[in-house]
Amino acid sequence: MSYDILLIRPDPGKTVDETLQRRNAEFDINDESSWFPDLHLSADDAADWERICTRTRDEVSDIEREEFPSYVGRWTVDPRMQLRYMEDSADLSIYYWYGAAEAPRALEAAYNLVALIEAETDLISIDGQTGERCTSPNLPMAVGIYTGTRSTVLRAIAEREDGPSPTAM
C-alpha cells in the first residue's frame, strides 16, 4: 500500500474529473490487456521525461531506473518514492515506510517532485488521499492521513502474522 499522487493530462476541453470519469468508465477489470497498455511516448513526452529525470536527480534525490512495457519509472533514493510515467499520466507512490518523524520530510519531497513534474509537463496533480490539487498542499493534513494509514497497515500486517490482537476482539 502507498500514499499516491496522480498526475493526469485532461482530455481536450475537459476537466481532470471528467477525464478520470471517462477513463474509469472505459476500464474493464476483466480485460487484463487494458490494465497496462504498451507505452508509446511521443518525442515531446520523452523530452519531458528526460527533463523530469534530470531535475529530480539535481533537486530531489538520486534516482534508480525502472522500465516496463507500460511505463518508464524511477525510484528516488532518499526519501524512497516510486514515480511512474505513462503516455498521458504519471503517478507517484510514497510507501508506508516512514514513521511520524520522517513522514513530513517524505511528503514534502513528494509535493516538491509533483511541482517539478507540473512545471515540465501539462499534467495536473491530484492527491489521491486528500482529493485536492497539489499546487498548494496541506502538508499537516497529508501527514496525518499518511501516519494514520500507516498505523492501520502495520496493525493489519501484525494481525495477519499473529492472528487477531486481543484489543481487536
**Top-confidence residue, 18 or 42:** 18
Query: Where is pLDDT greater, at 65 or 34?
Result: 65
- Among 31-45, 72-86, 106-120, 129-143, the range scoring the smallest mean pLDDT is 31-45
Pairing status of strand 63-68 against strand 71-76: antiparallel
Q: In this model, does residue 168 exceed pLDDT 50?
A: no
pTM: 0.79
C-alpha–C-alpha distance, residues 73 and 47, integer Å: 14
User: Residues 107-118: pLDDT tens digits?
Assistant: 999 999 999 999
Pairwise CA distance, residues 116 & 79, whole Å: 16
pLDDT category, 141, cuts 50, 70, 90? very high
Asked if omega into 79 is within 30° of 0 (cis), the reply is yes
Radius of gyration for the chain, computed over Cα atoms and rounded to the nearest angstrom = 17
